[in-house]
Amino acid sequence: MDAVYQLSDLRKEYGARTILDIAALEIHAGEIFALVGPSGAGKSTLLRLLNFLEPPSSGRIVYRAQTLNGNVPIETRRQVTTVFQRPVLLRATVRANVAYGLALRGERADRRVDEMLERVGLQSLAHAFAHKLSGGEMQRVALARALVIDPQVLLLDEPTANLDPYNVGLIEQIVREHNRARGTTVVLITHNVFQAKRLANRVGLMLGGRLVEVQATPAFFDAPRDPRTAAFVRGEMVY
C-alpha cells in the first residue's frame, strides 16, 4: 500500500500545551480515512499540519517519500486542498468562487467549472451571490472549489456539520464519486460516526491529541480493540 503521508513522533504544542502527540500514522494513497473524536481532540490541528499550513513542533511528516522540514515546495502544497470547517467564500458569484480555485493556480476558468457546478447540483445558482446561499449550498460551493483543481489529497474538516440529511447525502455522494473516479486520497474529519462508517475505508479515533485506535472500518465498528473506541461507536462516550 502506497503511503501518501507517514507521520512519526509528531507533536504540536501551543505554549505549554501539547495539542497533538501522534506516535505513528500512515495515510494510504486512494483511501478515505476518517478521523473521529470529540471537540477539542486536535482533529483540525492535525489537518493544518497535513495541509502544511503549520509546521509540527517536533517529529516527522513524510509526504510521498519526501521528508518535509518546514520548507514545503509550492508544487507539493498544490497537491493538497482543504475544505475548512468554516469555509470562507468570496463575495462574488458561485461560479467565480469555483473558478477561483483554478485562478490561484494560474489556470483559466473553463468548462471544468461548469462541469463541477453540475456535479454538485449548483448549475442553476451559478450566477447567484455565494454569501446569500444556504449553508448546504455554501458547503457545496466550497467542495466544488476544492475539487475543480483535481487535488491528489482532499482534506475535509466537518464538511457536513449543521446540514440537513439531503445535503449530507449529496456531499457524501460527491466525495465518494470523486474518490472512486480520480483516486483522490481523502482525509475526512467528522463528529459523526455514522458518516465515517458510510464513507471511510479506515477510521481513527482521536482523544486528547492522541490516536486511540486506527482500524479498517468494519473492525473499527465491530471489533474495536480499545474500550474507548467501543464506547465512542456505541454513542456512550460523554464529552
Please report whether residue 56 would count as binding ligand ATP according to CB under 6 A: no
Q: Locate 179 and state its grid cell.
A: 474518490
At closest approach, how far in Å is the CB of 130 from ligand ATP?
23
Pick 130 or 186: Cβ nearer ligand ATP:
186
Selected from 21, 27, 32, 42, the binder of ligand ATP by CB under 6 A is 42
Give how many residues touch Mg ion by CB under 5 A.
1
**204 vs 214: CA distance, rounded Å:** 4
Selected from 2, 23, 24, 40, the binder of ligand ATP by CB under 6 A is 40
Full DSSP string of 12-60: EEETTEEEEEEEEEEEETT-EEEEE--TTSSHHHHHHHHTTSS--SEEE
Please report whether residue 44 would count as binding Mg ion according to CB under 5 A: yes
Q: Locate 14 and state its grid cell.
A: 501551543
Please report whether residue 82 would count as binding ligand ATP according to CB under 6 A: no
Pick 44 or 97: Cβ nearer Mg ion:
44
| 154 Cβ neighbours under 8 A, 6+ residues apart | 81, 82, 83, 146, 147, 175, 178, 179, 184, 185, 186, 187
Q: Which residue intervals of 72-192 are DSSP H helices?
A: 74-77, 94-104, 111-119, 135-147, 165-182
- Backbone phi, then psi, for 204, in 5-degree steps? -120, 140
Bridge partner residues of 190 (DSSP): 36
At closest approach, how far in Å is the CB of 239 from ligand ATP?
10
Which range binds ligand ATP by CB under 6 A, 35-43, 176-184, 194-202, 225-233? 35-43
**198 vs 126: CA distance, rounded Å:** 30
Pick 44 or 152: Cβ nearer Mg ion:
44
Please report whether residue 39 would count as binding ligand ATP according to CB under 6 A: yes
Please report whether residue 43 would count as binding ligand ATP according to CB under 6 A: yes
At closest approach, how far in Å is the CB of 49 from Mg ion?
13
Give how many residues touch ligand ATP by CB under 6 A.
11
| SS3 assignment for 186-231 | EEEEECCHHHHHHHCCEEEEEECCEEEEEEEHHHHHHCCCCHHHHH
Q: Which does 40 bind (CB under 5 to 8 A by kind): ligand ATP, Mg ion, none?
A: ligand ATP
At closest approach, how far in Å is the CB of 223 from Mg ion?
28
Please report whether residue 51 would count as binding Mg ion according to CB under 5 A: no
Residues that bind ligand ATP (CB under 6 A): 14, 19, 37, 39-45, 85
Residues that bind Mg ion (CB under 5 A): 44
